[in-house]
Every structure is written in structure tokens, then in C-alpha cells.
Structure 1
């Protein structure tokens, strides 16, 4: 059995996404409920507050203060989809901090793999703006922090139903971070076409697999059992980070993909078999509460035993 760390903090429940918003505190409540049968197999860890300096590994220098001031003033909408409240800044810096602590605990040998049950999510956030429920780009900041700590080559896998435009943009001209994404297309946020491959020395280090509505297990499993392992093997990363968005599930209300819970388990299994390196999974989307809970538990079970 692998040493799997689980990062969670009640501060994530304090992020006010707005009345009736699908990215709700209940998402984490349900994940924790579904993890009850296996919680004793996990190493439970607490995140820390990411500093403004750490956040600006990806974001503009003024951006953290801008978000902090906006939340302190009572919050509101940062974009048409992204609402924050008084405690959202604290939740957001702790979401980033889960990834940073994950890297530190991998280095000290306490854990080999990590699941970060965080909110707000991150992969849509760009360097100077919140977007699509996301405030800070948790996975991108974790990637840069990992590089500072000696993981020179980072492979990011994003299986959220929506393309991670912010993560792609952060590393578009970079040959040290490989970004791989499967997502519904054309769909929000409109990026992630096959022709988007990077620029300059980063050309070829972005790999998008845009998929039509209705795509299910068979196509996904082929991609993750054949295409992905070849790319990982060729890049030879030191660590793999995963934007784990469970809105690809067939029961999710915010996407039109048809992947089953078992299909998600097979995707995760193929990811874990692709390289013998540390793994950090960071929660992104997933808005049907029962499907989210089931999928997160199966993901973590695979992390324990594969």
C-alpha cells in the first residue's frame, strides 16, 4: 500500500461562492463522507497559508493584494461565474498551500502520493484574473514550487471536463512543464483546440485532446492507456501533478460527457501506471455530489493500491 496524503481544512467550507452556486462547500462535505470507509488508510495533513511571494510564482505581483482587498471589503463577483466572500481569500491561499505542503511532505518522505481536497479550484485562473470559479491557479503554482524544490521536469495531467486555460497559458512557452488535457470541446472556456501546442521552446509541450459532447469510457480509456503513457515516457518527468476535475462524469450537471465512475477509476489507474514518480492530485471540478464523492473515493483507492 502506498503512503497517500490527504489534505483538507475546514477553511475551504468558508469560501462563499454565492447562493445556489454549483461550486459549493457541500462538495467537500460529500467527499469526506464518502472517504469514511478508507480514511484510516490515509495520512491526514493540514495545508498552510501560501505567501504572496509564492502565489506570484504564477500570478502578477499586485494580484494577491487585489483579491485580499476585494474579499476584505465584503466580496462579490470577480467574473460572471466567480463569487467571493469575506473568507474566500483565506480559503484560496490555503488551497494553494495544500499543494506546497504536498511537495514538502513528498520530499521529506512522509508521503508518496497526495490528494488535495481543496476549494476554490484553480485551473482557469490566469496570471491577473479570476475565472470560472477559480481564484489562484493551485496546480500551476505547485508546479513552479516543485521546480524550486528540485523536481525539474513537471508533467501536468488535466482530466476536468473544461479546458485548463490558465494552466496552459502559464507554461505555453516552457519546455520544462508538459501540459496534457482531455476536455469537452467546443465548450467553456473556448480554449484547448488540437492546434494549441505551445510556442517557442515550449512548442510540443502542450498536448490537447478536445472531445465532443457524449464522449464516454471507451474513448477516454484509449487515450489514457495509449496516448498518455507514450507522452509521459518521452518527457520523463520528475513528478506528475493532476488537475482532478470529476465533471467528466456522466451524471455531472455542468458538462455533457458520459464517463462512468468505473471509467474514471480506469483513467486514474492508467495515470498512476504511466511513471514511477510522486503524484499530486488537486481537486478541480465535479458538481453532482454523489458522483463526486464516489469518484474521489475510487481515485484515492487507486492511489493507495496501484
Structure 2
């Protein structure tokens, strides 16, 4: 059955203006492909449309240190491409505005969830965020969008949150932000070895890392999630689930070698929806991370949303 409340779709035009280079995989075309698919499959008609606000300084400061925030903000008015961070994470004239909207989307989503106005807040934003650490940007990421949302949820009075990250790449930034934070559980699946070459942290009780070998397929992936994620979620009983929704584990994605298919993302959506219904009053916030084959990305987002919007049937 679909969730009883409508999905909130949170985005902003600034997120489509940030572009590092025409051939860069983290492209404005990603959002265009997703939004076109939402219209084509009819889901756009059943979602609340919201414009993402800019994240406030205090929202960012719960996650990042002042030096990092000030450095990124100081680049807001740059008129040319500046490679101040790394070769893949440059800053253009629209980057900072987009990053602020991407981080602010999650804050709005938390408010909508806590006010009972939505069943799922889906943040269709870019740049992504889960590689951004407390003190540095990296890996296409400037501010850690899901961490900003999770910290904000805790500041609003929640006592336990869980972040579920199924991106192809490990969310090292989210781990850095929440390492040994007893109120936050981080569950991750990711291809290993692969950027950022995460090797884990011994005795980090709140990190549940599930490295996957190249060419891992859907059945093996599902078995790992059931084995490792479900016991941790049952023990923590989070009051909100926040999802780093990366779709680059799809078999068509050019940046990795995992072999997930559309049905696996629908299965994840169903699992997350059902867990949230039991422990978190149905509250789920998802923010877009990776996914670089445009067709696979758009259809994977549709598949993930199907349990929340369309029930259990995946449209043709």
C-alpha cells in the first residue's frame, strides 16, 4: 500500500545552474532527466511541489566548522571556474547558491515531516553531499546535505535518527560528521574498493558498513541489507529515517561495477517505507546523491518512489 500522505518534492532552479564542465558526470542533466520521468510516469501530479530555501549558517554549523563554511561562502561570487577543492569539485558562479539550496532542502523536508504534512520528503537537489566532511569539500560535494538535515532533526527534539546510504560510493563525509554520535545510526552499502577507499573505523558502534565486491547483484545486495541493516534498525528504533539516495549502484552506471536493477531500488523503497511506519511515524527524508547514467537514474528514482506514490506496482 502507498503511504497515506503525499510525497513532498523539494528542489530549486539554482540546483540546475551549477555546472563544472559540459562533460562532467555530475551534470544539470541529471535533474532534468529525473523531472522529465516524474512527468512521464504521472508521479508529478501526486506530489507536493516545494522550493528549497537556502540553508542558514546555523544549520550548516551543526555539521561543518566555521572555517569550511566561510571558505565555501567566500567563493559565492566567483566569475570563473575555480579548482580550489579538487579537479572534480570545482566552484563556478552558481555552485555556492546551488549548494546552499541543496542543504536547505533537507531542513525544509524535516519541518514538513515533523508537521505531519508529508510521508516522504524527496530532495531532488544537486550538488550531492555525502562526501563533504566537517572541514572539507570533496567528491562533487560541498556541504553534507543529509547530515545537515539529520542534525536539524535532532535539534528539533528527536532523540534517534538513522541515515541509510545505498550510494555506489561510501559516504565518508557523513561518517565523519556522525562518528560516535549516539543519537545517529549510519548504515551504508557501497562498492569496495572504490573512491573514497573507505576502510572503516574500529569500535565505531553507530556505523554499520557493508562493503560490496564489484559485480554484486541484486539478490546478494538484498541479503546483505537484511543481514546487517535490519538488526541495527530494530535495535535503534529511529524516529526518522534519512536516506542518502544514490542510484549509481545500477548496473548501467558508468562509474562503478555493482549490478542493481530497478526492482532493487523499489525493494529498498518498500523496506524503508515499512520500517518507518513501525518506528518513525512514517517519516522518511531522502536526498539525491549519485547516479550518472541519465536513463538509469531517472527510472531508478521512479522505482524508489513507487512504494510511496504508486503502491507496489512499477509502471512500464
Structure 2 counterpart of 1:112 = 119
Structure 1 counterpart of 2:35 = 32
Structure 2 counterpart of 1:145 = 152
Aligned length: 300
Structure 1 counterpart of 2:7 = 4
* 1:242 matches 2:243: yes
Please give the per-residue CA displacement for 1:7-48, whole angstroms capped at 9, x wherever unaligned: 111110111222310000000000001101211111111111
* 1:76 matches 2:91: no
Alignment partner of 1:175 out of 169, 182, 193? 182
Structure 2 counterpart of 1:297 = 302
Please give the per-residue CA displacement for 1:90-115, whole angstroms capped at 9, x wherever unaligned: 11011011000001111222112111
- Secondary structure of the residue that 1:132 maps to in structure 2? coil
Alpha-carbon separation, structure 1, partners of 2:86 and 2:63? 19
Seen in structure 2, the aligned counterparts of structure 1 residues 284 and 221 have a Cα distance that, compared at 3 Å, is: same
Deviating more after overlay: 72-81 vs 29-38:
72-81
Structure 1 counterpart of 2:273 = 272
Deviating more after overlay: 248-257 vs 169-178:
169-178
Q: Is the 8 A contact 1:224 1:271 kept in 2?
A: no
* CA RMSD after TM alignment: 1.4
* Superposition TM-score, scaled by structure 1 size: 0.94
Q: Is the 8 A contact 2:210 2:228 kept in 1?
A: no
CA drift of 1:217 comes to 0.4
* 1:208 matches 2:213: no
Q: Is the 8 A contact 2:170 2:190 kept in 1?
A: yes
Deviating more after overlay: 51-60 vs 157-166:
51-60
- Secondary structure of the residue that 1:121 maps to in structure 2? coil
CA drift of 1:176 comes to 0.8
- Secondary structure of the residue that 1:82 maps to in structure 2? coil
* 1:55 matches 2:56: no
**Mind listing any 5+ residue stretches in structure 2 that lack a counterpart?**
none
* 1:15 matches 2:15: no
Alpha-carbon separation, structure 1, partners of 2:181 and 2:111? 24
**Mind listing any 5+ residue stretches in structure 1 that lack a counterpart?**
none
Alpha-carbon separation, structure 1, partners of 2:98 and 2:284? 23
Q: Is the 8 A contact 2:267 2:304 kept in 1?
A: no
* Superposition TM-score, scaled by structure 2 size: 0.91
Alpha-carbon separation, structure 2, partners of 1:281 and 1:58? 18
CA drift of 1:71 comes to 3.5
Deviating more after overlay: 296-305 vs 207-216:
296-305
Please give the per-residue CA displacement for 1:188-235, whole angstroms capped at 9, x wherever unaligned: 001154xx355xxxx321010011100010111112334322211111
Alpha-carbon separation, structure 1, partners of 2:222 and 2:180? 29
